[in-house]
């Protein structure tokens, strides 16, 4: 296993003054950091799930502008709970020495009324570090990670649809 490395997030959150729902992951994977955008592993189902739920075509793997626009058109903000940490590769279980993201950067600029966490790790980290800041209880959804093989794409889409559409009102 690789040694621990101190890693900073490396890219900005996606949000604007119309964002009503904040979707949070835990921390970018190695592939996401290399691609300099969220869910950069083509096997991660996040962009397929969001596109299906929001009724839009799936953006091309390398089209960051289309991914950003997809979310913003629907009032969805996207970020991660952690700004920097010590981590081994992409192993979320190895995360230590967390510096949480400055979530007030989003909640102070947008009318965020709901927080959805992409997976249990994001949910645990959010409850510990960010919920005291936002005062918003998060709904923890099943991870879109390829490591979450027990959830089929269809089940993920159904569960995310239920939560996201309810949060968007």
Confidence at 160, pLDDT banded by 50, 70, 90: very high
Confidence (pLDDT) at 48: 98
120: number of CA atoms within 13 Å, CB side? 3
Full-prediction pTM beyond 0.85?
yes
Task: Report whether 78 contacts 23 (CB < 8 A).
Answer: yes
Task: Report whether 27 contacts 117 (CB < 8 A).
Answer: no
State how far the Cα of 90 lies from the Cα of 113, in Å rounded to an integer.
Answer: 30
Q: Is the pLDDT of residue 1 over 60?
A: no
Task: Report whether 164 contacts 21 (CB < 8 A).
Answer: yes
């Amino acid at each position: 296993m690789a040694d621990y490395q101190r890693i900073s997030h490396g890219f900005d959150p996606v949000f604007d003054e119309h964002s009503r729902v904040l979707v949070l992951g835990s921390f970018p994977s190695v592939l996401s950091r290399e691609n300099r955008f969220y869910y950069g592993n083509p096997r991660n189902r996040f962009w397929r799930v969001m596109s299906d739920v929001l009724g839009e075509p799936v953006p091309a793997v390398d089209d960051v502008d289309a991914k950003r626009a997809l979310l913003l058109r629907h009032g969805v903000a996207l970020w991660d709970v952690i700004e920097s940490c010590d981590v081994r590769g992409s192993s979320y279980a190895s995360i230590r020495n967390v510096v949480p993201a400055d979530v007030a950067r989003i909640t102070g600029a947008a009318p965020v009324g709901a927080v959805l966490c992409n997976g249990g790790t994001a949910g645990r980290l959010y409850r510990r570090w960010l919920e005291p800041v936002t005062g918003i209880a998060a709904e923890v959804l099943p991870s879109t990670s390829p490591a979450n093989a027990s959830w089929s794409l269809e089940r993920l889409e159904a569960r995310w649809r239920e939560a996201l559409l309810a949060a968007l009102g």
